[in-house]
Amino acid sequence: MTNEKEYNKDALGYYRIIGVSPDADEVMIKNRYHERAKVWHPDHNSGDSAKENFQKLSVAYKILSDENKRLSYDLLCSAYSFKTFPDMNMLKIFKNQNEKDDFNLKVISLSQVTGKIIKHNISKQDKVCNYQEAVQEVFKTSVHNWLCGWWSIKSIPKNIKAIIENYKKIGLNREENYQLWVHNAVAYWQNRQLGNAYISAVLAGQYANEVQKQLLKKLIIKLKVKPQFKLKAWNMLNLKLIQLIMPLAFLIVIISPFSAKFVTERDLMSYFSKKNEIEYNQEVRFYGGRTTTDDMVVAKIIKFPVDVHDTSKLYHVVSDQQVMYGPSESFDVIKTIKKGTTVRITGISPDEIWYRIMLDEGEMGFVKTEFLKAGIGNKIPFGSQIYQNE
């Protein structure tokens, strides 16, 4: 996967070669192609670059004059830059590490540091894996950095930075995950696996901006299928906590040098999986965009203690916001609150995208963290349940 964040609508310059914008209609593309073909056709132009330019023009027109190939090109342009653009005729489907189709895949970015006394190596990789594979990759990288990343003077600050970045970046690979799923959507479409293409397009939509969503919508309409399937939730908090296993093990060794009990990896993993500050909310997400609740999939919300005399958990919304029943825009709206409304923070999603808030009437709902600012905004009304100054 690429680390480049800058994409454009014409990565290979096909629209530019023909002389139209990416928004041009079929008639405009056809007319402009014929105009330029007359200029560059070797029968009419004996210049040194005429043959090369005509070949480029022909390749561009072959793609843009075909409705399906043009949509494939536009989708890939929305995810890739010129340097990383794949061969459209040989798209390899991203699968799990056992080379099986898997719709529970995500991209995780990990940096690994190896100290070698007088030198060091730093390896940065985007890994495509399902949740079980992600647990193993994160654990292996964390153990390596904690055991092997300190063995040169220059590697020490690099290793500290890598450990911190690995912890913080879990779950933040929106561009890379969009690239993963839009790539697979096009690849499955080319292989005539329409159901898989539909699922991949819906998954890509979770990470897409508005322009990208419009392109994905075009593909979904063309596929004319709508398979039902469910998405298993990733526990991003556990992936973060796994990275603390080694420092915890070091701490146990330091404070218990005479302990006869040997602490195994399974013991440590069991400890982190049984922490009590996690509240389990049941969630099922359908790939038509609808979300409901039952006992099929577990989503986790980290709870904050509610102290009505504490002002540190009082925040206010920076604009008018819809308060959702759950940590997703697919949930129903409880109500809309005005800019400046003061609320109490009572929890946060593991990916730190959603705050759970308490309203004046005591209702609980969810608002994105980016729209909340610490501190009291508008005056708290008399009788509010979020704060008592006595």
Task: Check whether 140 has a pLDDT greater than 70.
Answer: yes
Which residue pairs, CB below 8 angstroms and at least 24 apart, start in 277-284?
277/302, 277/303, 278/237, 278/302, 278/303, 279/303, 279/347, 281/326, 283/233, 283/326, 283/328, 284/230
Number of neighbouring beta carbons within 10 Å of residue 157: 10
Q: What is the pLDDT of residues 32-46, one digit of tens each?
A: 999 999 998 888 887
Percentage above 90 pLDDT, the chain:
66
Q: What is the DSSP string of 95-120?
A: --TTS---SS-EEEEEEEEEEEBTEE
Global pTM? 0.64
How many Å apart are CA 9 and CA 256, to the nearest integer? 60
The tokens 């509240």 sit on which residue? 279
| Closest of 326, 335, 323, 236 to residue 290, by C-alpha | 326
Rounded to an integer, the average pLDDT of 329-347 is: 91
- Residue 297 is predicted with a pLDDT of 34
Label residue 117 left, alpha or beta by phi (over 0 means left) and psi (-120 to 50 means alpha).
left
Q: Classify 367 as helix, strand or coil.
A: strand
Q: What is the pLDDT of residues 289-334, one digit of tens each?
A: 444 443 333 346 788 888 888 899 999 999 999 999 888 888 888 9
How many Å apart are CA 76 and CA 73, to the nearest integer? 5
